[in-house]
Structure 1
Amino acid sequence: MRHRLRDPVTGLLFVLPMLVLFLIFKIFPTLGAAGMSLTNWNIGGEWSFIGADNYTRLVNDPNFWSSLRATLVYTVIYVPLVMAVSLGTALLLNSIVFMRGLFRGMLFLPYVTSFVFAGIIWRWIFEFDGLVNGVLAKLDLGPVGFMERAELVLPALAVVSCWKGFGYSMLILLAGLKAIPGSYLEAAKVDGAGPWQRFRGITLPLLKPALFFVLVIETIASFQVFDTIYVMTGGGPAKASYTLIYGIFERGFRFWEFGYAATWGMVLFAIVLVVSLIQRRFIGKENT
């Protein structure tokens, strides 16, 4: 019995520190938010149990539905964009032999920069007298109010977030490309397969587990976008970039309605969970 228990107990001891941190910073706060969503908790710490009243209020809140719509539109724009950029740069780095480490570091650099710093720089780039409108003016196509037009603000924010965050997904996909045996590609090349045929028939199928992982983490990141919006638009114009996370921030730290903010958070948690399960069911079941 002692011999049979030794390996499981040893493994548990190794993972115990991370398990404790996960419980303290993930599970317990989630359970606390679930309980808080059933109260009218305020900034003074005073609260009373109100049951499902916050959820009833949320269903009838036009701000919630507009923020959900903005979040979904942003997700639809951002996720395909960052997936394409990450895969393209990973394929490019995988084909580079000379100074590969330098190029990898340069492409990863935006990921480690501050969201606030990136937002300030990109706000200047998108302004009427900024870099993009300067180029458009030279082509007689501008200026364009990217931050002032409701139909353009979410695509502009998606570009900024993509520039800021694609580096991590790029490294994940690059690692997946490195794991593909070179003999497969060489054999296909000998058989006369072109670059596109090798990519479609060998590289892409073997890269599916990494692609699925990137899809899940980038989808979750798109639902949690906040920093860029807070710095660049403040939810505007006319709440066109008023996402769910920004709504949670405003309810909790501007109106001090912590119970109602927790309700928004629990609904966001449920949405992300459902979307992740759908992705696994229809896209990544055979790749996990």
Structure 2
Amino acid sequence: MPASPSGDRPAPVPAPARVDRAPSPGSRARRRREALVAAAFIAPSLLGFSVFYLWPTLRGLWFSLTDFDFFTPPAFVGLGNYARLLEDATFWNAMVVTLQYVAVNIGVQTVVALGIAVLMHRLTTSTLVRSVVVMPYLVANVVVALVFFWMLDAQIGIVNEALTGLGLDPVAFFGDETWAVPTIALVNVWRHMGYTALLIFAGLQMIPGHLYEAARTEGASEWRMFWSITLPLLRPVLAVVLVITMIGSFQVFDTVAVTTAGGPADATRVLQYYIFDLAFQRLDYGYASAVSVVLLVILMAVAALQLRLTRAHQSDLG
């Protein structure tokens, strides 16, 4: 190695220039084949998304700017439907009812599902237990709604028969304005809590077991480990679960349609049922599309806000 001009230490030898070689014809052909295979796998899902989601969404956006009753061509009205929405008392009532339902459903479902998931994680690893927990989710929502509708009937329902046998007055669970929304929310909690618990349980499986062993060595109780280890490390999973359950709660329809049909006195007329009523009973497709767009914007805003507040992109496991 040649010496530097000062003579103190040898001068560094410059590194040879990097020569970028063009990809060989065989490499380019292989990449093209891989791209074609990837496109073939993606194509069915992309086609389904375009036909059943993207195109209906774009059509709905267009219809929301028109006056359309299905029997006549759409007439462009600009933002007229949205201006009408601001003065629609039924829409605002449906918004309040939907928020009441979401609050009860999300609050109870999250707490119960989290408790079930923690118990499964800490006490048992039985596949049979997990299967039993998720079983209600496999039953169709309409079937669940009908079964509970009969069980909670004020006249012949088995629940009210039991209340009468205990000397209590029967309760019109679906027919009383006070009880209707909580009843529908709890019915859906019963059906979905097993699936939600399974999602949370999958997140619990990713928490290293040595953290619990170290905390137990230090004398921490189960309650202390839950608040100091489980909840902080489960935050990203809980954020995703909350977004999924929140979106599903805002879209509740079938339970309301089967049991109360929006009654009594609009006490259970949620946004989805109001959209159904406008579109398929009143044939006011333009205004129904405007309400649907507003619901879409609400769901996007709620999901983005939840992910930001819960810092779902961060994990304490790192």
Same fold (TM over 0.5): yes
Contact 2:240-2:307 at 8 Å conserved across structures: no
- Cα distance in 1 for partners of 2:204, 2:309 equals 23
Residue in 2 that maps onto 1:118: 144
Q: Would you say 1:236 and 2:267 are equivalent positions?
A: no
Which of 221, 234, 251 is residue 224 of structure 1 equivalent to?
251
Once the two structures are overlaid, the 10-residue window that deviates more, 85-94 or 149-158, is 85-94
- Once the two structures are superposed, the pairs formed by residues 1-288 of structure 1 within 5 Å of their partners are 6=31, 9=35, 14-44=41-71, 46-97=73-124, 100-128=126-154, 129-287=156-314
Residue in 1 that maps onto 2:8: none
For residue 146 of structure 2, what is the amino acid of its counterpart? I
- Cα distance in 2 for partners of 1:287, 1:148 equals 45
Contact 1:79-1:218 at 8 Å conserved across structures: yes
For residue 127 of structure 2, what is the amino acid of its counterpart? G
User: How far off its partner does 1:277 sit?
Assistant: 1.5
User: How far off its partner does 1:44 sit?
Assistant: 2.4
- The Cα offsets for residues 43-80 of structure 1, whole Å up to 9 and x where unpaired, read as 22521111111111111111101100100111111101
SS at match of 2:169: coil
Q: Can you give the 5+ residue segments of structure 2 that lack an aligned partner in the other structure?
A: 1-21
User: How far off its partner does 1:23 sit?
Assistant: 2.6
For residue 101 of structure 1, what is the amino acid of its counterpart? T
- Cα distance in 1 for partners of 2:237, 2:161 equals 39
Q: In percent, how many aligned pairs have the same letter?
A: 37
Contact 1:124-1:130 at 8 Å conserved across structures: yes
- Cα distance in 1 for partners of 2:185, 2:179 equals 10
- Cα distance in 1 for partners of 2:184, 2:296 equals 22
Once the two structures are overlaid, the 10-residue window that deviates more, 204-213 or 277-286, is 277-286
- Cα distance in 1 for partners of 2:244, 2:267 equals 24
CA RMSD of superposed structures (Å) = 2.1
- Cα distance in 1 for partners of 2:162, 2:238 equals 35
Relative contact order, higher structure (CA 8 A, sep 6+): 1
- Cα distance in 1 for partners of 2:148, 2:211 equals 42
Task: Tell me how many residue pairs correspond in the alignment.
Answer: 287
For residue 248 of structure 2, what is the amino acid of its counterpart? A
- Cα distance in 1 for partners of 2:309, 2:124 equals 37
For residue 109 of structure 1, what is the amino acid of its counterpart? M
User: How far off its partner does 1:12 sit?
Assistant: 5.4
Higher helix fraction (1 or 2): 1
Once the two structures are overlaid, the 10-residue window that deviates more, 192-201 or 126-135, is 126-135
Q: What TM-score, normalized to structure 2?
A: 0.84
SS at match of 1:147: coil
SS at match of 1:74: helix
- Cα distance in 1 for partners of 2:314, 2:259 equals 38
The structure with the larger Rg is 2
Once the two structures are overlaid, the 10-residue window that deviates more, 54-63 or 131-140, is 131-140
- Cα distance in 2 for partners of 1:60, 1:161 equals 31
Once the two structures are overlaid, the 10-residue window that deviates more, 242-251 or 88-97, is 88-97
For residue 136 of structure 2, what is the amino acid of its counterpart? P
